[in-house]
């Protein structure tokens, strides 16, 4: 789908510049390449739009979970201090709740990082395909411009 937009942008610009009198073939090609690069950048920006959110979730979630863990353990020790007796039964529920916060943070972070890496690789691969398409199409336009 993205290559279609590159083609449309490049060919439309090529035809527009070709209609102008006195336009050199190299100027026609340069204009078409610029139009295709702009279209490619718009497509890649649209695809990469949500990757910043995934990166943020992936990097911040473990710290939010850690904060919840620290907060929960702090409350467990406060409860232990109020109880006056250091038994596992008095500390365990608070620590278990605290560890759940860590698990939730990791549960959010791990899929976000995996998704970010997948989407980033897909966008990079597509950028390479766009570059190849622009080069191939530029060769075709160069042959047309030489006529």
The answer to whether 144 and 14 have CB atoms below 8 angstroms apart is yes
What is the model's pLDDT at position 3?
A: 86
Gap between the Cα atoms of 119 and 113, Å rounded:
10
Gap between the Cα atoms of 50 and 46, Å rounded:
8
Range of the structural domain that residue 69 is part of: 2-146
What is the model's pLDDT at position 121?
A: 95
What is the model's pLDDT at position 21?
A: 74
What is the model's pLDDT at position 1?
A: 60
Task: Give the per-residue SS3 of 37-96.
Answer: HHHHHHHHHHHHCCHHHHHHHHHHHHHHHHHHHHHHHHHHHHHHHHHCCCCHHHHHHHHH
What is the model's pLDDT at position 5?
A: 92
Inter-helix orientation angle 51-83/88-146, to 10°: 170
Tokens linked to 38: 């702009």
- Total domains in the chain come to 1
The answer to whether 33 and 134 have CB atoms below 8 angstroms apart is yes
Gap between the Cα atoms of 67 and 71, Å rounded:
6
What is the model's pLDDT at position 8?
A: 93
Ranges in the chain, pLDDT < 70: 1, 83-84
């Amino acid at each position: 789908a993205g290559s279609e937009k590159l083609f449309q942008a490049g060919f439309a610009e090529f035809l527009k510049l070709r209609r102008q009198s006195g336009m050199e073939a190299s100027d026609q090609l340069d204009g078409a390449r610029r139009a295709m690069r702009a279209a490619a950048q718009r497509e890649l920006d649209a695809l990469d739009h949500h990757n910043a959110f995934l990166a943020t979730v992936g990097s911040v979630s473990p710290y939010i979970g850690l904060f919840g863990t620290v907060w929960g353990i702090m409350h467990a020790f406060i409860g232990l201090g109020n109880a006056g007796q250091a038994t596992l039964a008095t500390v365990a529920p608070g620590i278990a709740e605290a560890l759940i916060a860590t698990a939730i943070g990791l549960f959010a972070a791990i899929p976000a990082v995996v998704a970010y890496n997948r989407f980033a690789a897909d966008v990079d691969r597509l950028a390479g395909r766009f570059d190849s398409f622009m080069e191939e199409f530029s060769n075709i336009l160069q042959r047309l411009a030489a006529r």
